[in-house]
Amino acid sequence: MKVRVGLGSCGIAAGGRKVMDRLAQEIKNHGKEIELLPTGCIGMCFYEPIVDVFDGDKVYSYANVTADMATEIFNSHIIGGQPLTQYIVSTTEKPYTILAKQVRIALRNCGVIDPENVDEYKANDGYKALSKALKEMTPEEVIEEIKVAGLRGRGGAGFPTWFKWNAARQSKGEIKYVVCNADEGDPGAFMDRSVLEGDPHALLEGMAICGYAIGANEGHIYCRAEYPLAIKRLEIAIADAKQRNLLGKNIMGTNFSFDMKIKKGAGAFVCGEETALIASLEGERGMPRLKPPFPAQSGFWGKPTNINNVETFANVPWIMYNGGSAYAAYGTEKSKGTKVFALAGKIKNGGLVEVPMGMSLREVIYDIGGGILNDREFKAVQMGGPSGGCIPKQLLDTPVDYDSINKTGAIMGSGGMIVMDETTCMVDMARFFLDFTVKESCGKCIYCRIGTKRMLEILERITTGEGREGDIEELEELSISIKDGSLCGLGQTAPNPVLTTIRYFRDEYEAHIRDKKCPAKSCKPLLTYTINQDNCKGCTLCAQKCPVQAITGEKKKPHVIDQALCTKCGNCASVCRLDAVCIE
190 HSE (CA, 13 A, CB side): 23
Query: Last residue of some domain: 328, 353, 385?
Result: 328
Same domain, residue pair 198 and 73 = no
Cα–Cα distance measured from residue 348 to residue 359, given in angstroms and rounded to the nearest whole number? 19
Same domain, residue pair 414 and 435 = no
For position 188, what pLDDT does the model report?
Answer: 84
Handedness of CA 175, 180, 181, 183 (dihedral sign): negative
Binding site, residues?
Answer: 10-11, 41, 45, 48, 154-155, 164, 274, 291, 309, 425, 442, 445, 448, 488, 512, 518, 523, 536, 539, 541-543, 546, 559, 566, 569, 572, 576
Mean pLDDT of the chain: 95
Task: Inform me whether the pLDDT recorded for 517 exceeds 90.
Answer: yes
Number of domains in the chain: 5
Binding site for Zn(2+), residues?
Answer: 425, 512, 518, 523
Task: Inform me whether the pLDDT recorded for 156 exceeds 80.
Answer: no
Contact 489/482 with Cβ under 8 angstroms? no
CATH number at residue 537: 3.30.70.20
Tens of pLDDT, residues 48-101: 999 999 999 999 999 999 999 999 999 999 999 999 999 999 999 999 999 999
Tens of pLDDT, residues 334-385: 999 999 999 999 999 999 999 999 999 999 999 999 999 999 999 999 998 8
| Mean pLDDT (whole number) for 519-532 | 93
Contact 407/361 with Cβ under 8 angstroms? no
Same domain, residue pair 155 and 250 = yes
For position 187, what pLDDT does the model report?
Answer: 85
Specify whether the backbone of 150 is left (phi greater than 0), alpha (psi in -120 to 50) or beta: left
Percent of the chain topping pLDDT 70: 100
Cα–Cα distance measured from residue 19 to residue 67, given in angstroms and rounded to the nearest whole number? 5
pLDDT band at 9 (very low <50, low <70, confident <90, very high): very high
Same domain, residue pair 226 and 324 = yes
Closest CA to 78 of 94, 59, 55: 55
Same domain, residue pair 416 and 300 = no
Same domain, residue pair 144 and 206 = yes
**Phi and psi angles of residue 102, each rounded to the nearest 5 degrees, phi first:** -90, 155
Binding site for [4Fe-4S] cluster, residues?
Answer: 442, 445, 448, 488, 536, 539, 541-543, 546, 559, 566, 569, 572, 576
pLDDT band at 501 (very low <50, low <70, confident <90, very high): very high
Handedness of CA 191, 193, 195, 198 (dihedral sign): negative
> Is 396 part of any domain?
yes
Same domain, residue pair 459 and 389 = no
Task: Inform me whether the pLDDT recorded for 185 exceeds 90.
Answer: no
85 HSE (CA, 13 A, CB side): 1
Same domain, residue pair 510 and 533 = no
534 HSE (CA, 13 A, CB side): 0
H or E element at residue 210: helix 200-214
16 against 413, higher pLDDT: 16
Tens of pLDDT, residues 409-454: 999 888 889 999 999 999 999 999 999 999 999 999 999 999 999 9
Contact 205/318 with Cβ under 8 angstroms? no
pLDDT band at 112 (very low <50, low <70, confident <90, very high): very high
Exposure class string for 16-50: b at 16+ Cβ within 10 A, else e: bbbbbebbeebbeeeeeebeebbbbbbbbbbbbbb
Binding site for [2Fe-2S] cluster, residues?
Answer: 10-11, 41, 45, 48
Cα–Cα distance measured from residue 59 to residue 426, given in angstroms and rounded to the nearest whole number? 44
Query: Residues 6 or more apart from 403 whose CB is under 8 A from it?
Result: 334, 335
Same domain, residue pair 86 and 195 = no
3-state secondary structure of 519: coil
> Is 109 part of any domain?
no
Query: Last residue of some domain: 406, 421, 436?
Result: 421
For position 251, what pLDDT does the model report?
Answer: 98
**Phi and psi angles of residue 345, each rounded to the nearest 5 degrees, phi first:** 95, -140
Cα–Cα distance measured from residue 230 to residue 162, given in angstroms and rounded to the nearest whole number? 27
CATH number at residue 464: 1.20.1440.230
For position 584, what pLDDT does the model report?
Answer: 87
Cα–Cα distance measured from residue 110 to residue 124, given in angstroms and rounded to the nearest whole number? 12
Task: Inform me whether the pLDDT recorded for 128 exceeds 90.
Answer: yes
Binding site for FMN, residues?
Answer: 154, 164, 274, 309
Distance from first CA to last CA of the chain, Å, rounded? 59
Same domain, residue pair 442 and 417 = no
> Is 101 part of any domain?
no
Three-state secondary structure string covering 296-359: CCCCHHHCCEEEEEHHHHHHHHHHHHHCHHHHHCCECCCCECEEEEEEEECECCCEEEEEECCC
> Is 38 part of any domain?
yes
Query: Last residue of some domain: 367, 401, 421?
Result: 421
Containing structural domain, residue 381: 338-421
Task: Inform me whether the pLDDT recorded for 165 exceeds 90.
Answer: yes
Task: Inform me whether the pLDDT recorded for 550 exceeds 80.
Answer: yes
pLDDT band at 186 (very low <50, low <70, confident <90, very high): confident
